[in-house]
Amino acid sequence: MSLKIIPFIVFLGLFLLFAAPVATGIINLGNGVGMALSAVMMLIVLFWGKFTGALGRCWEKPLGKIVLSLVGIAAAVSIVLAVVISVFMIREANDPPKDENTTVVVLGCKVKNGAPSLMLKRRLDAAYGYLSEHDSVCAVVSGGQGSDESISEAQCMKDYLVSRGISPDRIFMEDRSVNTEENLRFSKAVISENGLPGKITLVTDNFHQYRAELIAESNGIEAYNISGKTSWYLLPTYGVREWFGIVYYKLFG
């Protein structure tokens, strides 16, 4: 029994880590999959003898060998894919531009009671830090208005940056988009219409940068990136969700 304690505690810790965002109302594919896999692994650890016995009996049958082999291959491929995607996500988390020939594009996020949510505020703080140090750079704030938002995300973002001292003349709004693809496609149009530099600097969360950059490239946009800070307990949930998002985007566009 003592040999089971350490792996059980590890998987219990993972389960609690993925469950933590639920307390703040965050429920998505990432923490759903994370909690489910962690729970399954805890059960396997607790009932290891019965589990291995069942595998042995299954392996003795021809069909069982096929099923277990396919499951094993799928698991191995998934692990390798997750590692490779994670490496790309980490690599693209922070790649600031080399000069000021760029336009900052801040991707929208939830607005609560007319104010930026914590995640959006951290994106805006990252954008503010760059804009305050590079006076010649302009920004496009991109995000429409959801049914549960009192103002558009773009308006909220502009108001926040202006309140911190960024000139409103440097901030252009794109307030129609409802997803990342539209964020970038519509922002590209705003950039073109106003004669701003075509090379953009994406500002979003670190876990989101890689997929956002893939979408930018598909729209013919050269992108650098600056990331907002993400709370440590949210990284596993959103990281896993991004794995699925990136695979889906690669397969279906």
The mean pLDDT value for 13-22 works out to 96
The mean pLDDT value for 124-134 works out to 96
DSSP state of 29: H
Give tens-digit pLDDT for 141-171: 999 998 889 999 999 999 999 999 999 999 9
Q: What is the pLDDT of residue 50?
A: 94
Distance CA 25, CA 5 (A): 31
Distance CA 15, CA 30 (A): 12
Question: 117 near 214, Cβ under 8 Å?
Answer: no
End-to-end distance of the chain based on CA atoms, in angstroms? 48
- pLDDT tier, 33 (very low <50, low <70, confident <90, very high otherwise): very high
DSSP state of 127: H
Would the pLDDT of 240 be above 60? yes
Question: 141 near 106, Cβ under 8 Å?
Answer: yes
The mean pLDDT value for 2-26 works out to 92
Question: 78 near 88, Cβ under 8 Å?
Answer: no
Q: What is the pLDDT of residue 117?
A: 92
Chain-centroid distance of CA 177 in Å reads 17
- pLDDT tier, 79 (very low <50, low <70, confident <90, very high otherwise): very high
**Which residue in 14, 73, 23 sits closest to 239, CA to CA?**
14
The mean pLDDT value for 23-40 works out to 94
Average pLDDT, the chain: 94
- pLDDT tier, 3 (very low <50, low <70, confident <90, very high otherwise): confident
Half-sphere exposure of 28 (CA within 13 A, CB side): 16
Task: Read off the pTM.
Answer: 0.88
For tokens 């920004």, what's the residue? Answer: 139
For tokens 């003592």, what's the residue? Answer: 2
The mean pLDDT value for 98-110 works out to 95
Which residues, in sequence order, are CB contacts of 122 under 8 Å at separation 6+?
205, 228, 229, 230
Q: What is the pLDDT of residue 214?
A: 95
Distance CA 108, CA 140 (A): 10
Percentage of the chain lying above the pLDDT 70 cut? 99
Beta strand pairing call for 115-116 and 111-112:
antiparallel
Q: Please say whether the dihedral angle defined by the alpha carbons of residues 25, 30, 35 and 38, taken in this order, is positive or negative.
A: negative
Percentage of the chain lying above the pLDDT 90 cut? 92
| Residue 27: strand pairing partners | none
The mean pLDDT value for 117-121 works out to 93
Would the pLDDT of 94 be above 90? no
Chain-centroid distance of CA 116 in Å reads 18
DSSP state of 95: B
Q: What is the pLDDT of residue 179?
A: 94
Q: What is the pLDDT of residue 253?
A: 78
The mean pLDDT value for 5-25 works out to 94
Distance CA 91, CA 33 (A): 24
